[in-house]
Structure 1
Amino acid sequence: MKQDGTLFTLENDELLVTVARHGAELTRIYDKKAGRDVLWDANPAVWNRHSPVLFPFIGKCYEGKYLHNETEYEMPIHGFARDMEFQPVLCDIDECWFSLKDTDETFKNYPFHFEVEIGHRLEGRTITVMWKVTNPDSQELLFMMGGHPAFVVPEGRSIYDYTFEFNREGGKKGQYQDGLHYLAPNDKGYEARELQGTLKLTEGRAPLTKGFFDTVLTYMFDGFQVSSVSLLLDGKPYVTVGCEEFPYLGMWSEEATHPFVCLEPWSGLCAPEGYIGELKDRPGVVALGPWKSWDKSYTIHVG
């Protein structure tokens, strides 16, 4: 594993992967066999991130604020971890780990003690992204956590060449036998029940046609419906995200400007429009007991 103190590299015969200390963010996935990058390059003229980690919140709080024990706090969209410096913990040939702990500054607007450990492991053509949240306190820890990897289309192609393929083995199909139930945010970024619907599937697939992300700005599939999702090119998997441990899967792009699609395993989701209740009652919030740990992982398979 190569490193320069801020950027860490994992590499084998198939892939080259880099992870930044800043935000413990996956910053590159290069397919050596195909000779192309798979992860978005964070061009600031379009979107200046690659695969940010969302902690301790996913999406927006209503009007940027939330309540905990009847006290109001401010919180930016997707929390603060993606903009903080993590500490390297393990640096090996095929695996790296980083750690983030609460500080006096984080405690001002997030009154919880925590430790977040983020790992990346490279095996063949698969990257496993591992998260561990530990509550080192006698009080309950309330949080959400999610991934946000952006997969760029190959040169000469567009997002309309993608087809989504959903694997529902092990997922909870419920009443939606012919498609996937989704929630959606409105144009203010809040979950709006009037926008929920069902994405129709044909043999588990849905093409990314023009207008796919126009009415539904972000698809938020709930209820553990999806165990993995693939982006297909010419009928073959280009990249597959395994997300069976997560109750929510987000899918996002902006068709007019973004040459990438984000596939996002989430433990929670954005606040409903008008939600001013206690954090503990917000949909999707994880309540972690004293001295307990929460471990989840998702995978990215190239090709």
Structure 2
Amino acid sequence: MDKGNKMNYTIKNNMLKVTISSKGAEIQSVKGVHSDYEYMWQADPAIWDRHAPVLFPIVGRLKNDQYTYQGKTYHLGQHGFARDCEFIVEKQSDESITFLLKDSEETRKVYPFKFELRVNYNLMNNLLEENFIVTNKTDGEMIFGIGGHPGFNLPVDDLQVKKEDFYFATQPSEARVKIPISKQTGLLDWANRSLASTDSLIGLSDDLFKNDALIYQLSGHDNKISVRTENSKFHINVWTRNAPFVGIWSQYPKTANYVCIEPWWGIADRSDADGKLEDKYGMNHLAKGETFNAGFSITFHSEK
């Protein structure tokens, strides 16, 4: 659903310069003003060809890449269509920008709801806020998932450190339910979820993602997931705010020096899903005319 020619827009303050594309309202670059360090993965097509896609109206994969709604079958690929759609800029200032996507005849072929999706970015010092505002324009209930998928560069070459020197730390320091995902199907292996030791550090390695993403259930309060190393002041923090799930992922078996920390308000189908959108686990239900607000924040810290 690539519509039109994409354009890049920039917001900037005295610490960060952020470039965002109209295609998918997707972050292309986050650079330190003083360090000139590129924090975002640069979409190497040989590894993973995206930077930080917006996932809507589903997160993850559907069983058989399809669902039924009110007796009709619709086909929809992994993570939905918004990441490939052309957004318009609704408003912009030096440190803030809001993108807008509305339903169209094309979107309604795969998702039979009328909607407005706004993706808003705000800069405050070294913090970048990404907000999702979904308004239901349908004459009835709207069902959807939404999420972020930012990929972060790990400065392995710059810092003379190895990828394995990095680790994930979570706050609050507590155990969380881990939901395994089938590498073959991309669906949740719901029966084998377990309590994971996220109250301790999680060492980063390529093999960490051999079974696909690490998916954790989150409680309602703020959760912070950090990627950092003891060998440098470099670290990135992601505050998931009210997200019920977070995914941690990097491509495997192809590998590179990046990692994604993904706050989600939605999740892939369970392997036992019946295919009905009305029954899909983890979805948001929005009444006619109502608006849904969610989002997350990222702080960037470099060596310089």
Under a length normalisation based on structure 1, what TM-score does the superposition of the two structures give? 0.90
Which of 263, 268, 289 aligns to 1:265? It is: 263
Over the aligned positions, Cα root-mean-square deviation in angstroms equals 1.9
Give the partner amino acid of 1:72: T
Q: Which moved more, 1:120-129 or 1:230-239?
A: 230-239
Give the partner amino acid of 1:219: L
- Residue 27 (structure 1) aligned with residue 28 (structure 2): yes
Deviations 1:18-52 (A, max 9, x none): 01100000111112333311110011111110000
Tell me which residue corresponds to 1:168: 172
Give the partner amino acid of 1:259: N
Which of 218, 221, 240 aligns to 2:213? It is: 218
Tell me which residue corresponds to 1:81: 82
Structure 1: 5+ residue stretches without partners: 170-176
Give the partner amino acid of 1:19: I
Tell me which residue corresponds to 1:95: 96
Equivalent pair of 1:159/1:261 in contact (CA under 8 Å): no
Equivalent pair of 1:185/1:195 in contact (CA under 8 Å): no
Q: Distance in 2 between matches of 1:35 and 1:95?
A: 20
Q: Distance in 2 between matches of 1:124 and 1:92?
A: 15
Deviation for aligned residue 1:5: 7.4
Tell me which residue corresponds to 2:37: 36
Deviations 1:200-223 (A, max 9, x none): 245x422224532224x1111114
Tell me which residue corresponds to 1:174: none
Tell me which residue corresponds to 1:173: none
Equivalent pair of 2:24/2:53 in contact (CA under 8 Å): yes
Equivalent pair of 1:224/1:244 in contact (CA under 8 Å): no
SS at match of 1:131: strand
Give the partner amino acid of 2:187: Y
Q: Report how many residues are paired.
A: 290
SS at match of 2:147: coil
SS at match of 1:212: helix
Which of 292, 295, 303 aligns to 1:294? It is: 292
Equivalent pair of 1:135/1:293 in contact (CA under 8 Å): yes
Tell me which residue corresponds to 2:177: 181
Equivalent pair of 1:67/1:276 in contact (CA under 8 Å): no
Q: Distance in 1 between matches of 2:275 and 2:114?
A: 22
Equivalent pair of 1:222/1:249 in contact (CA under 8 Å): yes
- Residue 153 (structure 1) aligned with residue 154 (structure 2): yes
Equivalent pair of 2:223/2:241 in contact (CA under 8 Å): yes
SS at match of 1:107: helix
Deviation for aligned residue 1:291: 0.4
Which of 280, 284, 301 aligns to 2:282? It is: 284
Give the partner amino acid of 1:279: L
Equivalent pair of 2:151/2:261 in contact (CA under 8 Å): yes
Q: Which moved more, 1:282-291 or 1:186-195?
A: 186-195
Give the partner amino acid of 1:68: Y
Give the partner amino acid of 1:263: I
Tell me which residue corresponds to 1:196: 193
- Residue 229 (structure 1) aligned with residue 233 (structure 2): no
Tell me which residue corresponds to 1:143: 144
Q: Distance in 2 between matches of 1:233 and 1:219?
A: 20
Q: Distance in 1 between matches of 2:234 and 2:266?
A: 27
Equivalent pair of 1:119/1:131 in contact (CA under 8 Å): yes
Deviation for aligned residue 1:158: 4.1
**Moved >4 Å (runs of 4+):** none
Q: Distance in 1 between matches of 2:149 and 2:29?
A: 13
Deviations 1:44-86 (A, max 9, x none): 1111100000000001110111011121110010000000000
Which of 239, 244, 262 aligns to 1:242? It is: 239
Give the partner amino acid of 2:228: L
Give the partner amino acid of 1:162: F
Q: Distance in 2 between matches of 1:274 and 1:194?
A: 9
Q: Distance in 1 between matches of 2:125 and 2:16?
A: 8
Q: Which moved more, 1:89-98 or 1:219-228?
A: 219-228
SS at match of 1:88: strand
